[in-house]
Homo-oligomer: A and B are copies of this chain.
Amino acid sequence: MKKEKTTIHDIARKLNITASTVSRALKDHPRISMETKKAVLKVAQKLNYQPNHIAAALRVGRSNIIGIIVPTADRSFFSSVVRGIEEIANQSRYHVMICQTYDNYEKEVATVEALLNARVDGIIASHGKETLNFDHFRKVKERGIPLILFDRSNDELEVSHVVIDDYLGGYKATEHLIQQGCRRIAHFTNARKISIYKERLRGYREALLNYGLPFSEELVVESNLQLDDGRNSMEQLLKLKVIPDAVFSASAYGAMGALQVLKEKKISVPEQVALVAFSNEPFTSFTDPALSTVDQHSMRMGNAAAQIFLEEVTSENEKFIPQKIVLKPELIVRASSLRKPNES
């Protein structure tokens, strides 16, 4: 009864294509045309080919799911990006499934695995704060599944990504404070690992330089940029011999913490200390005074990421060139930094 087992080479020979194409067709690789997949499948069944992959291949066709990986879905920035992705994806009948990593590296790795097992057609991700090793994302690439990164990205991966010009955001925020008459501007950052914060810090520094103001290490406070971090950072700054006359925080929650401390200590905002936040969380317009902030055009970022996905998933081109889209941030001036109302 026993007979020689059919291999992918037998199928390849029969169809006059490469074994690698057969293998990818059986894995339901998105870069292989539906036509080729069907042909391979037909021959595979005829020759009684029985590898593990046949199961997947038997269900040829797409899952029509885009997996989204975000640190957390409850930050307005991330949820707006997701909204932007869905806006485009839904028009093309793709479903969007969101997974949260809570900035935990192990969870991020396991999530990529789970999405691959769920046979998603693509992954759009913003990696966690702890992520230094990107092998799990390389695996997605190797499977030929489109991977697009947004906001927090990594150049070594050679995948498409959509980011904002964080340098410009930092520059604009600082320049605005200088134009409002501030001369001793502090900065809340988290620049140790993540490039977006490094860029915002660079923008802050360049603006000071361009306007002839000194850069002072004591005015740059490192933290995780959460609410309590903002409180602690502000308290630290208030202990300086000469307190700052403005704070540019690289996060919205950090600025909120600073505002709370200033109000508790009856230090007037913006008269004594002006404040500019980063990322346009809804609450920034609900505070008193409302917080000036840098808007990241998150909806547009999501739109762009989804567009790239659609291009990559339908492309039959074997030669892949990653796209890089850089969006320009916008400064939204509100009461917390408006010392000269007429000049705003």
Contacts and interface: CB of A to CB of B under 8 A. Distances in A.
What 4 A-B pairs have minimum CB-CB distances, sorted nearest first?
A: A74-B79, A283-B283, A288-B288, A55-B58
Interface in A56-83: 56, 58-59, 63-65, 67, 72-76, 79-80, 82
Interface residues of A, number: 41
A58 B65 contact: no
What number of copies of this chain does the assembly contain? 2
B114 A65 contact: yes
Most buried by B among A82, A90, A102, A117: A117
Contacts of A287: 286-288
A114 B98 contact: no
Contacts of A79: 72-74
A25 interface: no
Contact of A59 (B55, B67, B114): B55
A87 to B, nearest CB: 10
A195 interface: no
Contacts of A86: 100, 102
A154 interface: no
A318 B80 CA distance: 43
Contacts of A180: none
Given A73-B74, A73-B79, A73-B82, A114 B64 contact: yes
A59 B74 CA distance: 34
Contacts of A282: 283
A96 interface: yes
